[in-house]
A and B are shown apart, each in its own frame.
Chain A
Amino acid sequence: MPLLPALRSAILLFIFSIFFIGQASAAPVADETEFKQLLNGFTQKSFAAKANTAQQVATSGHPKAKQVLEAMAESRLYFRKSDQLVVFADKDGRSYVLTDIFSNETLGTFSRREVSKVKTNNSLRAKLGKMVAEIELKHPDASVRLAAVEAMIPKLKEDDADLFGSLIKEEQDESVKKALQFGIYIGYLDSSKKERVLNAIEALDGELEPIVRNKLTSLANNSDDKDIKKAAKKSLKGIESKISIFSNLETIYFGISLGSILILAAIGLAITFGVMGVINMAHGELIMLGAYTTYLIQQAMPNHTTASIFLAIPAAFCVSGMVGIAIERGVIRFLYGRPLETLLATFGISLILQQLVRTVISPQNRTVETPAFMSGSIDINPIFALTYNRLYIISFCILVFIALFFILKRTRLGLQVRAVSQNRSMAKAMGVRSDWVDAMTFGLGSGVAGIAGVALSQITNVGPNMGQSYIIDSFMVVVFGGVGNLWGTLVAGLSLGVANKVLEPMAGAVLAKIMVLVFIILFIQKRPRGLFPQKGRAAEA
């Protein structure tokens, strides 16, 4: 009996070798019965025979081939003694649970004596690993091949490089070719041939993959050869300077995105504080209301995350804008010309709004789901990626800024706003309804705060206290930029954002924030009217 399978597999091997010699990818044994018979070759004792069988399995092209070989390498491949059926087995206490290779069905529990392991030795295991890799490296689908190459690179040896070298000649796909070439050089770095190592170092110059850096570092430290050491050090230096450039770029990118958030939070304030001279301490709460609007809309339409965000933008604008107008009509208009009192009254309003949210919704933080199109990133290179959510926030901020700029500079409302802010009584005399303009301006500023809330809901939790964490930062931005100047707000927001992110790795997040605050405190004392001050008589009023 035991002879029969052996004979069969020998015949099969013969047939295969006739048919498939020199063929890189082959998939003739799609037939289950034939593959099953092939597997029976594993029941043989001789390691050479098993290696043979494994080789055949590897080149069979059967979808289960990889799984089988992997199982074998992990010592999970057994055969049932009763019928020589090759199966996957998982140890369960002292017995084994067997799984059919093809159907994935459990065949029941068997005792130790009923099954036998397909034994392997070291050399066989090494071969198995390679075979597994090759199965995928020769896969018809280019993306699978690419993934296989990339998976191999981290633990690549020189022989693998030789394998890659043979593969690259056959390869048609450009990206796979590139990956293979990269792998070859990586493998060469471990070579004992000096020539190869030096070539590889030269070819890999400027590569930013971490593995290149690691290998070069170890070469630079441990290599016995002076030339290799020197070349590795030189190349390493180049790589490191490149890395530091990109990490600086990343810091700036983070800084700009933080700056955009600051600008979004502050720009509404720049209107109410800058143009109208009104201190609105409830500004943070208007942001919070915008964020909660987003949350509630998302709750109302749980399966349409993307749509809910786009719906939330106008909705938040309206909600916060309305509340803003109510605040202006109800409180602030009685306090024009008394900035300190306005500060106190609006602070009172902020307390009420916070508590309102706590009572009506919940004191706990809520999360707003991020739509799919905002996750992911553009990978520029292995160490520098632009994440989409930040990118969207930056573009959103630019859009809001342009829109506001347009409203203030090009529309009738903008003209009236500027007129009232410069000379209220004169504007009144010219027939501007200053009451109406005040309300609209305040509504606009508040509405923008609401929009900022939508953006913030995407990057942080939504909670009753979220407004407070932004109010001081927002004021700093407006004051730093110079009151009454949208450009100032833009520049100030960006520079504070970048400064914060630049300081962070040096000093830690909290200390960076403190340093920025202290800097602004000092700055205001040096230039009390900000970066872009208003000049002349108007400034002194």
Chain B
Amino acid sequence: MLDGIMTGLTTAVMPFNLMMVVVGCFAGTFIGMLPGLGPISAVALMIPITYGLDPSSGIILMAGVYYGAVFGGSTSSILINAPGCASTVVTSFDGYPLAQQKQAGKALALAAYSSFTGGTVGAIVLLFAAPALASVSLSFQSSDYFALMILGLTAVAAFSGKGQVIKALIMTIFGLMIATVGTDVTSGTTRFTFGSVDLIDGISFLLLAMATFALTEVVMTVLKGQHREEEQQMDMSQLGSMKLSKEEVKHVAPTIARSSVFGFIVGVLPGAGATIASFLAYGLERNLASAKEKLKFGKGALRGLAAPESANNAASTGSFVPLLTLGIPGSGTTAIMLGALIAYGIQPGPRLFIDNPDVFWSVIISMYFGNLVLLILNLPLIPYISRLLVIPRPILIPLILFFSITGVYLVSFNTFDIHMMAIITVIAIFLKLLEFPMAPMLLGFILGGLMENNLSRALTISDGSFSFLWERPLSLGIVITAVLVLVIPPLSEYWKSRRQVATKKDPETAISEG
């Protein structure tokens, strides 16, 4: 492991890679600050740039952008009550009230320290957990992989929100359907190309990611008329001090420690991600607070700000565990990174740390550097970075559209891709209006080809029988977990609603009987 850490350190400290961390953190912070554009869009926008880099530098840049975007989202949550992404919505609960009390500087500093601690704790745990998990998963066979991918897809669907499970599952199937377009790698026959030469190679991951996230998110702001809204400007002279007193540090330290560990664990679960981690950490902290302190939550409580900030950064790091060790992304953003790794010709999974140790270890090491950059460089520069938000939306939106389109065009040099992006954007807008989540679709699309290959191999080995799903204890264990993950949330929801109906009925019967 020490060899690996040294390999990672040597790769990560290369001046170019250090520059990638810094550039990534800055670009991510800026994009993350723009309301509506979150880490997924920020990472998607970076993919075309990373195609020209070597895999380690590319993934380091994307990891930096990921952290930067989460941090940028927190900044806009605190300063203008406009969360850049879902995982920083909770940050605004107590961050914005603090800014209104002219303590924006303190709120930003606390957010940065919490993020730094969360990210650092996450990076250290990842340093030990990832290789251990990867060495265990080296014994995986194609049947286990197939079962694991089913678990990944069902987990993303199950965690997608109340009442959204069926919709998320449908979107996963839709993604798998899109993945079948093009030439079938096992037989060489074309599928669903309808005679179009442009579809023989299938739909590119980059095109789908850019169209469904970057392009659609920007177009949605236009659709909702948000581009006409006047920018809320925070008076930077009213930021206040960025220093925290000793008492305040003592007060929030246990919260940060708890939330960091908690966030990491939630982040490791496939599909859970930073958003759920931040909400759960906030809820946990509120429950642990005394009755007097509980009243402060939502009105500028320091613990209420520190908890989600530590948790969402630790969860962002945690979501790299299933990506790096099993090749199963833990969140929408890591799903995009998985697609990028596959595009580089790298197969994420247990063999990653054997076949590409430089990529594996340098990503982990650069995460620590990323957190350091956010704390040392980004925090003091926040007043200046946030000035970029002054660029009027009517100017900014066409520029983002341009980067999204040309990012795809400059990889394929085929204008058909631009037209395809427009069509996919129309479909994505329609689906978003119907409240269908996009991340499961992208995950289904990315895992589609791999799933089909592993299923084909497993079926061939087991002579066409699906018994491989229960004959190997490991496969069986994973399949049972997938079923539980899928069944438990709707069942608990059903029980809850039944209990509510029963408690509503009871008083009525009591009255009628009385």
Answer whether A and B are interacting partners: no
